[in-house]
Amino acid sequence: MKKIKIEQRIKNAVAAFYETERENVEEGLSLFDETALLKAGAAEKISKKGDRLVKILKRAFIFFPGVLYLFFGTFMIFAFDFLWSPLTILAVFLIGSFLTIFGIGSLKKPKHLVIPLSIVAVAMTAFYTFALLGGLKSVFEYGIYFFPLALIAPFLAKGLVDRTENAKS
């Protein structure tokens, strides 16, 4: 009888040890789930909102002024080509290119040079279209109507380049 009681006590002690360990493991997991995972989810939501805000600010305060600068700088260079030195022309294109690429593209990808090139192409098309139709006066009167196209063309060009880059991968 004594032997059975001792064996029973050992079994109860062993069972109690394992049950306590399992309860602690479950409590630890539930505490981990409630704190760390919820904090990670909240941080991810904040990060997504922050990324969206940064993208909007970059487009508003970097890309848009860059397009203005590059579009009208191209107009001025072609209209008054005798006033500009090569260094000034280079500075206009470098500054405008940097602003537009940094605004919507990536400076690390050389294929995103298509962004400022599309703006210059739209500006050149507008300039020569109105210069042939009505002279220099009509370029500055009606050339502004091509500006919305100069805002849309970089997004289309970037999308095309990124799509072909993803297709090759």
pLDDT tens per residue across span 83-93: 889 999 999 99
Can you tell me which residue has the tokens 């079994």? 11
Please give the model's pTM, rounded to 2 decimal places.
0.73
Structural contact between residues 8 and 15, judged by C-beta atoms closer than 8 angstroms: no
pLDDT of residue 126 exceeding 70, the answer is: yes
Indicate if the pLDDT at residue 28 is higher than 80. no
Structure tokens at 37: 């995972």
**What pLDDT band is residue 159 in, cutting at 50, 70 and 90?**
very high
Angle between helical axes of 64-79 and 114-134 (0-180°, round to 10): 40
Burial class (CB in 10 A: 0-12, 13-18, 19+), 76: middle
Query: What is the number of structural domains in the chain?
Result: 1
Q: Choose between 42 and 113: higher pLDDT.
A: 113
CB-based contacts of 59: which residues, under 8 Å, 6+ apart? 103, 104
Domain that holds residue 88: 2-168
State the pLDDT confidence band at 157, using cuts at 50, 70 and 90.
very high
